[in-house]
Amino acid sequence: MTNYELLEKQVTELLNTEPFYVSSMSNISSLIMEALPDLNWAGFYIFRNSCLTVGPFQGKPACIHIEVGKGVCGTAFHDDRTIVVEDVHTFPGHIACDSASNSEIVIPIHSDGKPVAVLDIDSPLLNRFSEEDRLGLEKVASVTEKMIKW
């Protein structure tokens, strides 16, 4: 079981040390990969030039661009809501950046009340992400939103 309270404190301390978004997102991705078992990808897509562009991450090489409204990341960004997918193969329009991914959670990241990025986490297991994971990762995203400097 993941200690989300500890993860939130670690993210807060990292952001106190250096709030620059590239450095912060790099370390947050690494923390998530270390803290949560059974992951194969954890990172960020940042909105720029009218699409989501891969940002700092941990895992295999990823899709570079994702259109808003496409796939899990683009849909979560467009709808401005967290999406938990038990089986990515059943998600309409899923974009398979890593064929090993079977489940996914995507959480929008905001600046000035508008989505500017998403936190994307994939697992090779089906139904990997619980309600506890959603709530804990949304808290991590909230700390990130409040403290990160664009």
Whether residue 147 is predicted with pLDDT greater than 90 in this model: the reply is yes
Q: Is the pTM of this model over 0.75?
A: yes
Query: What pLDDT sits at residue 103?
Result: 97
Answer for the pair 140, 8: CB distance below 8 angstroms, yes or no.
yes
- pLDDT tens-digit profile of 83-133? 999 999 999 888 878 788 999 999 999 999 999 999 999 999 999 999 999
- pLDDT tens-digit profile of 45-58? 999 999 999 999 99
